[in-house]
């Protein structure tokens, strides 16, 4: 099993739709997670941190399911500007320095 | 935005030449990282640093070396560039590693002919 797995997409959704992505992880010791957004040919930018059961920021909600070892990102009322690749990231566990990156899920919001 | 710059932003070079990429931060963060990003592979760690003169290898370190002589600068050197090192290189910083978020520089697009 890969350390972090994401559906590459693309997810094509109309403006105003609600869309959700999942990210599964293999290390049950992982305690926190990040979602990053990456626009084409740009650097990843932090979208949300997930430290416990979940986090909400405006139209974005992240949920953590420890029993099934996945995190999800829900985007409500999608905007054209939400079109990007969303990366799931698992930070290092104790004694390591390695952040584990998913390969990303591509979202296209259509007018 | 975190104060991270990378130079050069774009570079075209020839096989066999040495290349040095620079990452500069103004955040005084302890941890710095070099990644490469290629289609289908996501971000892969090349080297990282956990303090001045303290560095270690990542998962794709062959053909690369790093140096960190001061907190704000982390240099990545391709000792003898090959076409397989054509990629986008991102530098990242983190305040304390571990649970802390990483912040990324704008990237360097390197082409090796």
Question: Do residue A104 and residue B42 have CB atoms under 8 angstroms apart?
Answer: yes
* pLDDT reading at A96 higher than 90: no
For A4-53, write each residue's pLDDT tens digit: 999 999 999 999 999 999 999 998 888 889 999 999 989 999 999 988 77
Judged by a CB distance cut-off of 8 A, whether residue B11 touches chain A is no
Mean pLDDT of B97-106: 85
For A62-75, write each residue's pLDDT tens digit: 999 988 999 999 99
Output the pLDDT for position B8: 97
Question: Do residue B90 and residue A44 have CB atoms under 8 angstroms apart?
Answer: yes
Residue numbers of B between 46 and 75 with CB closer than 8 Å to A: 48, 50, 56, 58-59
Contact A34, A48 (CB under 8 A): yes
* DSSP for residue B83: G
Taking CB atoms and an 8 Å cut-off, how many pairs form between chains A and B?
A: 51
For B3-24, write each residue's pLDDT tens digit: 999 999 999 999 999 999 999 9
Output the pLDDT for position B40: 79
Report how far residue B42's alpha carbon sits from residue B37's, in angstroms, rounded to the nearest whole number.
6
Report how far residue A90's alpha carbon sits from residue B68's, in angstroms, rounded to the nearest whole number.
25
For A70-93, write each residue's pLDDT tens digit: 999 999 999 999 999 999 999 887
For B33-81, write each residue's pLDDT tens digit: 999 999 878 899 999 999 999 999 999 999 999 999 999 999 999 999 9
């Amino acid at each position: 099993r890969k350390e972090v797995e994401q559906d590459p997409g693309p997810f094509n959704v109309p403006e105003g739709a609600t869309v959700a992505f999942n990210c599964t992880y293999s290390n049950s010791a992982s305690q926190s997670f990040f979602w990053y957004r990456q626009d084409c040919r740009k650097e990843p930018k932090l979208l949300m941190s997930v430290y416990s059961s979940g986090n909400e920021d405006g139209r974005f909600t992240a949920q953590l399911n420890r029993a099934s070892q996945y995190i999800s990102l829900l985007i409500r009322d999608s905007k054209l500007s939400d079109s990007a690749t969303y990366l799931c990231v698992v930070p290092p566990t104790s004694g390591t320095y390695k952040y584990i990156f998913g390969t990303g899920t591509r979202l296209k919001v259509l007018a | 935005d975190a104060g991270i710059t990378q130079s050069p932003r774009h570079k075209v070079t020839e096989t066999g030449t040495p290349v040095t990429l620079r990452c500069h931060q103004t955040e005084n963060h302890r941890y710095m990282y070099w990644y490469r990003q290629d289609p289908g592979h996501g971000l892969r760690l090349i080297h990282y640093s956990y303090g001045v003169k303290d560095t270690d290898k990542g998962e794709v370190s062959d053909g690369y070396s790093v140096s960190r002589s001061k907190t704000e600068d982390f240099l990545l050197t391709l000792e003898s560039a090959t076409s397989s090192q054509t990629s986008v290189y991102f530098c990242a910083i983190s305040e304390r590693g571990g649970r802390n978020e990483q912040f990324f520089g704008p990237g360097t697009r390197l082409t090796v002919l």
